[in-house]
Amino acid sequence: MHAIDETDRRILTALRLDGRITNGALAAKVGLSASACLRRVRMLERSGVIRGYTAIIAGSAPDEGMTAIVQVALDRQTEEYLTRFEQGLRNHPEVREWYLMTGDGDYVLRLQIANMAEYERFHATVLSRLPGVSRITSSFAMRSHAHR
């Protein structure tokens, strides 16, 4: 694992705010030469600190559906159960992200679905059939805001 210093933190903060920033603008922002900045970004990528780049898509347009936040409890919290559950999530594009959590549930999922009927179908045919699931609690977003 790459040891992160203050310059790396400034690079990561700038990339979180604007993942499409040019290397030249990023270098100027963090006080490095362009070549030194690119070297650091590549090292952060190779070491897995930066796992990828993505676009955050607004969820408020009618044709983009709705967001469901789903808490899932598993029968057991063994590594085998966690791995099998996560593998079951990977082939479903409705699952935008998931987190292994502390507290009441084991996982929190963020789903992007077309409508309530689609969620009902997904719940019945996917969520309730994932390995080790013992409880599913769902909430639906009424409004969203991505921090920039």
* Exposure on the CB side of residue 118, measured as CA atoms within 13 A: 14
Distances from the Cα of 56 to the Cαs of 20, 53, 88, in angstroms?
12, 10, 24
Domain ranges of the chain: 6-46, 62-140
Burial class from Cβ neighbours inside 10 Å (0-12, 13-18, 19+) for residue 9 reads exposed
Confidence bin at 17 (pLDDT 50/70/90): confident
Using DSSP's 3-state secondary structure scheme, residue 29 falls into helix
Provide the 3-class DSSP secondary structure of residue 108. Answer: strand
What is the pLDDT, as a whole number, of residue 136? 96
- In this structure, what token pair is assigned to residue 22? 């040019």
Q: Mean of the pLDDT values across residues 36-54?
A: 92
Percent over 70 (pLDDT), the chain: 91
- When pLDDT is cut at 50, 70 and 90, the band that residue 56 belongs to is low
Q: Does the pLDDT at position 106 exceed 80?
A: yes
User: How far apart, in whole angstroms, are the C-alpha atoms of residue 104 and residue 49?
Assistant: 29
Q: Residue 147 has what pLDDT?
A: 62
Which band of pLDDT confidence, cut at 50, 70 and 90, is reported for residue 103?
Answer: confident
Q: Please tell me the distance from the alpha carbon of residue 5 to that of residue 26, in angstroms, as a whole number.
A: 16
Residue 140 has pLDDT above 70, yes or no: yes
6-46 CATH choice from 1.10.10.60, 1.20.1250.20, 1.10.10.10, 2.40.37.10 = 1.10.10.10
- Domain 62-140, CATH number (from 3.30.70.920, 3.40.50.2000, 3.20.20.70, 3.30.460.20): 3.30.70.920
CA atoms of 138 and 3, how far apart (whole Å): 38
The pLDDT assigned to 3 comes to: 84
